[in-house]
């Protein structure tokens, strides 16, 4: 727990470097826009999101991990009311947290006000490892509030929340990476995890396709709830990524920050 922040940052930077290198050497798709401006925007948003969470940590008594420790201490939440083997409770907690994120993602696509915020992620005209960190600060703040509520209701251990957050962060970078898995490996991996080909469908310009494959880590929920689309209609090389804005604006930081408040 003491070195939690350092461990998480090291895993994040290590996986980012790994996927960014694979993309550079063996890209899956040809880029629509130059990498420089898109990467500047995604990293700036990440910096703003980190600052937002730091500010929230000042204002709120706890964030997600602190909420788990507090819930355990107070005996609050489902998992603190029942007795299960520790290993089983850990798996159950990670599964339920992943389902909650899946459901939250689906809701952000259905509620117009939330979709305005989430469009910032989808407006990216290419999909690569930096798309995984391209979110509007207001969406990140809202997500944290929802996560705190879910943690208090569920009552997982702090370690379960840390493991879940590392897994979510790592799998998000993996499935946004502009890389190609051999077809057979993709089929095998996507039985459990969301693969880059599976999540790319979710970034299609077509509404029916971007309203599918909501999973970030586990692929099981989309199959279970019938929101799964195996491949894009136009194929992975020809499909269009992004939303209605087909120029360079989505790569710009100011435009991306203002996007939720735009008239259309
Ligand atoms: Zn989405
Ligand atoms: Zn995405």
CA–CA gap between residue 159 and residue 7 (Å, rounded): 13
CB 221 within 8 Å of CB 96: no
DSSP reduced 3-state for 205: coil
**214 C-alpha to ligand 1 centroid (Å):** 6
Ligand nearest to the CA of 172: 2
pLDDT of residue 1: 60
CB 210 within 8 Å of CB 204: yes
Q: What is the pLDDT of residues 106-154, one digit of tens each?
A: 999 999 999 999 999 999 999 999 999 999 999 999 999 999 999 999 9
**77 C-alpha to ligand 2 centroid (Å):** 30
CA–CA gap between residue 140 and residue 60 (Å, rounded): 15
pTM value?
Answer: 0.95
Count Cβ atoms below 10 Å from residue 241 Cβ, excluding itself.
22
Ligand nearest to the CA of 216: 2
**216 C-alpha to ligand 1 centroid (Å):** 9
Helix axes 158-176, 86-110, angle to 10 degrees: 50
The end-to-end CA distance of the chain, in Å, is 45
**221 C-alpha to ligand 1 centroid (Å):** 15
Q: What is the pLDDT of residues 222-260, one digit of tens each?
A: 999 999 999 999 999 999 999 999 999 999 999 999 999
**217 C-alpha to ligand 1 centroid (Å):** 13
Do you know the residue count of the chain? 264
pLDDT of residue 4: 85
> Chain-centre distance of CA 132, in angstroms?
6
CA–CA gap between residue 13 and residue 10 (Å, rounded): 5
């Amino acid at each position: 727990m003491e070195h939690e922040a350092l461990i998480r940052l090291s895993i994040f930077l290590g996986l980012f470097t790994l996927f960014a290198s694979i993309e550079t050497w063996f890209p899956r798709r040809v880029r629509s826009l130059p990498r420089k401006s898109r990467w500047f925007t995604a990293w700036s948003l990440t910096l703003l999101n980190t600052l937002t969470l730091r500010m929230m940590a000042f204002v709120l008594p706890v964030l997600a991990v602190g909420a788990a420790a507090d819930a355990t201490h107070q005996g609050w939440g489902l998992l603190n009311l029942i007795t299960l083997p520790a290993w089983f409770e850990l798996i159950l907690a990670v599964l339920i947290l992943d389902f909650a994120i899946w459901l939250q993602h689906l809701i952000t696509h259905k509620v117009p006000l939330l979709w305005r915020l989430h469009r910032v992620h989808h407006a990216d005209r290419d999909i690569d490892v930096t798309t995984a960190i391209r979110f509007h600060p207001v969406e990140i703040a809202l997500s944290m509030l929802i996560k705190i509520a879910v943690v208090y209701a569920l009552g997982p251990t702090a370690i379960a929340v840390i493991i879940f957050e590392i897994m979510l962060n790592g799998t998000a970078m993996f499935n946004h990476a502009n890389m190609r898995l051999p077809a057979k490996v993709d089929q095998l991996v996507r039985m459990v995890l969301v693969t880059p080909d599976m999540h790319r469908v979710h970034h299609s310009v077509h509404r029916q396709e971007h309203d599918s494959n909501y999973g970030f880590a586990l692929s099981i929920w989309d199959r279970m709830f019938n929101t799964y689309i195996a491949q894009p209609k136009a194929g992975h090389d020809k499909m269009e990524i992004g939303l209605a804005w087909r120029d360079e604006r989505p790569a710009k930081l100011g435009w991306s920050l203002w996007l939720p408040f735009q008239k259309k």
